Chains A and B, each alone.
Chain A
Amino acid sequence: MTRSKFSVVWLLAALVALVVVPASASAKPTITLSGSTSVAPLATLWAQKYVKACKGCVKFKLLQGGSDVGIADVSRGRVTIGMSSRDPKPSDAGGIVFNRVAKDAICLATNKANPLSNLDQNAVQSIFSGSVRSWNQVPGAKQSGTIDLFVRTPASGTQDAFQKIFMGDAKVFSGASQKASNGLVQQSIKRDKAGIGYLSEAFTKGLSVASYKGVPCNLRNAKSGQYGGVRSFYFVTRGKAKGAAAKWIRWVRNNKAALRIAAREWVPFK
């Protein structure tokens, strides 16, 4: 290469650097999230606070779809963080990391017209497996006739956690009405006097919540560890979290404001 050609190449490289470097330096990183409809309400609150706290250092893009969708998305590199309300499964793709960010109580809820004081694991398994199909067979029920079961769709982390914590080896009744979100379960039970379902504690407003194994499902009992139906919320990353996502996860787990936000309706990380 002659000296003049060499100079031209360097000049072009310098020009490209001048154009590209400032553009990339000024671009804010975007953290994309998808997954659990249970984690999403908490994630939006954290995102708002974090954007304000770090003076707009980052932008978030929040999608939903259910825990399985979030985990699949992050393992394929479609999003930065997969939101999950279930524990890792052997069937999950390799190379993903479950970062616990909070905990949440799963409550058993009925219509206000049909309050149940307590359900033990046996009763939960009998009702949700379909072996007990009538309210007449449920001690303490004010309702009579067929039990309307509201459960979550298979992609849901709440469904998975419910199966693991409450059902054990018993299978959820195949004739149960499957709902795609906590909000839809809440609405269905509100409308149906014969309805029963399970949902995140944050969505129990307007419903009658039964105690489980003699312990009321509320935030205080979930935080103290007395309530048995508690599951974890995770931010799932592809490998160890890096860059803006790592900073955000650290903030979510340690910052006082973030912990205060979580403590309003969920169990904070610490």
Chain B
Amino acid sequence: MNSFRSLDGERGSRIGLVFAAGLAVAFLMCLAGVGKAQASSVSCSGTVEATTDGHAENELTYNLKCNEDIKGYSITSNREIGYFGTETVVLGADGEVAEGESFGCEGSIPAWGIGCQGKMTAGNTVVSSVGTSEALCEAAVQPKFWATALTLQDVKGTDTPFVSEPFLLKTKPCKVLNPLKKAKAKRDKVCAKVKSAGSKQARKAAKKRCASARAAVRRLNAA
């Protein structure tokens, strides 16, 4: 009789172990399959930096690269967005424009982010711009930008949309936060000392410091 019970103990238990291991592997594979279908597997990275030749106020250029084909993405920030580029450029790994790949971006002004639809192949980079409502460093906390990608994954033979987790984009931190607010506070403090100065010499020195503080505010306002 060719059954486990009929075999001698050692051989039977070995076959039993192999069978059990096989079942476990099959079960794990099923789990892995289920896991893949229920979470986005895409991973993206990118940067956000100040634009030097932009047309919008406080314009920043962002780029985003993902390890899977994507059909859309969103950019969100802890800064209010006052502008966004409505069309994007997608660059291939060779740095040349990727034919037929692009995104159209839509959203509210002002808002905390934008959404873009289109397509990009894995490994390519999408480049576009956003503009913050206030100067980037004019806030109490460091600026942060996140990107979320939309992918299509095969679930039981059907392309199913999956939204990824937010990926933090690299941004150069501000050396000074709230520089204008701080400069204004300094100006008010320094200029108040002009009136309260006890001597002619002290008043002259206070006036000089006040003028310098006012100039600093003007510089920041102009920037």
| Interface size, A (range) | 20 to 34
Question: Would B109 and A44 count as touching, CB distance under 8 A?
Answer: yes
Q: Specify which chain A residues have a CB less than 8 angstroms from the CB of B178 in the assembled complex.
A: none
Question: Would B108 and A48 count as touching, CB distance under 8 A?
Answer: no
- The prevalent SS among residues of A at the interface is helix
Question: Would A183 and B89 count as touching, CB distance under 8 A?
Answer: yes
Q: Specify which chain B residues have a CB less than 8 angstroms from the CB of A180 in the assembled complex.
A: 104
Verify if B49 is at the interface (C-beta below 8 Å from A): no
Contact pattern, B 90-120, Cβ under 8 Å of A = 1, otherwise 0: 1000001111111010111110000000000
If A48-B82, A51-B133 touch, whether A59 touches B88 (CB-CB below 8 Å) is: no
Question: Would A44 and B104 count as touching, CB distance under 8 A?
Answer: no
Question: Would B57 and A59 count as touching, CB distance under 8 A?
Answer: no
Taken together as a complex, chains A and B put the C-alpha atoms of A220 and B98 apart, in Å, by 32
Verify if B84 is at the interface (C-beta below 8 Å from A): yes
Question: Would A51 and B109 count as touching, CB distance under 8 A?
Answer: yes
Question: Would B109 and A59 count as touching, CB distance under 8 A?
Answer: yes
Q: Specify which chain B residues have a CB less than 8 angstroms from the CB of A49 in the assembled complex.
A: 57
Verify if A182 is at the interface (C-beta below 8 Å from B): yes
Question: Would A48 and B83 count as touching, CB distance under 8 A?
Answer: yes
Q: Specify which chain B residues have a CB less than 8 angstroms from the CB of A44 in the assembled complex.
A: 56, 83-86, 109
Q: Specify which chain B residues have a CB less than 8 angstroms from the CB of A117 in the assembled complex.
A: none
Question: Would A183 and B106 count as touching, CB distance under 8 A?
Answer: no
Verify if B72 is at the interface (C-beta below 8 Å from A): no
B residues near A (Cβ < 8 Å) are 55-57, 82-90, 96-102, 104, 106-110, 131, 133
The 6 A-B pairs of least Cβ separation, nearest first, read A183-B87, A40-B86, A48-B83, A60-B109, A47-B109, A48-B82
A residues near B (Cβ < 8 Å) are 30, 37, 40-41, 44-45, 47-49, 51-52, 56, 59-64, 180-184, 187-188, 190-192, 261, 264-265
